[in-house]
Amino acid sequence: MEEGAQLKPVATDHRYEVFHTDCPARDMVDHVTSRWGIWVLISLRANDLRFYELRDSIRGISEKMLAQTLRALVQDGLLRREVEPTTPPQVTYGLTEFGRDLGEPLTDLFDRITRQLPPR
CATH of the domain at 78: 1.10.10.10
pLDDT tens by residue, 31-84: 888 889 999 999 999 999 999 999 999 999 999 999 999 999 999 999 999 999
pTM of the model: 0.78
d(CA 1, CA 17): 29
Question: What is the rounded CA–CA span in Å between residue 28 and residue 72?
Answer: 8
Number of domains in the chain: 1
Q: What mean pLDDT is predicted for residues 96-107?
A: 92
- Whether residue 87 is contained in a domain is answered as yes
For 78, phi then psi, to 5°, come to -90, -25
Residue pair 91/83 in contact (Cβ under 8 Å)? The answer is yes
Q: Is residue 74 part of a domain?
A: yes
Determine, yes or no, domain membership for 1.
Answer: no
Residue 8 lies in a domain: no
The confidence score (pLDDT) of residue 81 equals 97
Residue 15 lies in a domain: no
Domain extent at residue 45:
24-114
**Cα dihedral value 49, 37, 74, 52, nearest 10:** 30
